[in-house]
Structure 1
């Protein structure tokens, strides 16, 4: 098998697990902070296994949040975007 290893690093991370129910949906998230993503946070939806590497401005952009987490409605995306913009 021909494989070029690009990186193999181990580092400590900080992980926050958050679950909340809003007006439009329930969210169970893991938010990881690491130096590997240059100040961005890795946000994982534990229900769908979808994830995104986000900074503050990306978290505030509800259409992007809707696309990356494949949310059903704009309202659901606004709700998650609002939470993330205040919590990452």
Structure 2
């Protein structure tokens, strides 16, 4: 094997699946809560296959996450509210 594994970690993650409809768009997201990414949740768009790491401080930096998750401009305010509720809901405890 020509690969060197420099880190390996096994953990049980809390993963939540969301199918969200706006007035004109559908979004399928997974949010995985892990202690591995310094308090950030892994948010993945099932449509685009792209992932971002988000915490509550990132919610209003939509220029960072909206393009990666293919969130349409008109839906960003609603997603900011959604992420605020989901990331602060107590489902995830920051460890770092």
TM-score, normalising length from structure 1? 0.80
Structure with higher helix content: 1
Q: Residue deviations 1:37-86, cap 9 Å, x none?
A: 12110001111111101111212322222232244x42133333332222
- CA root-mean-square deviation: 1.8
Q: Distance in 2 between matches of 1:9 and 1:39?
A: 16
TM-score, normalising length from structure 2? 0.75
Q: Distance in 2 between matches of 1:78 and 1:24?
A: 15
What does residue 55 of structure 2 align with? 55
Distance 1:84 1:66, change over 3 A: same
1:5 is aligned to 2:5: yes
Task: Give unpaired runs (5+ residues) of structure 2.
Answer: 88-96
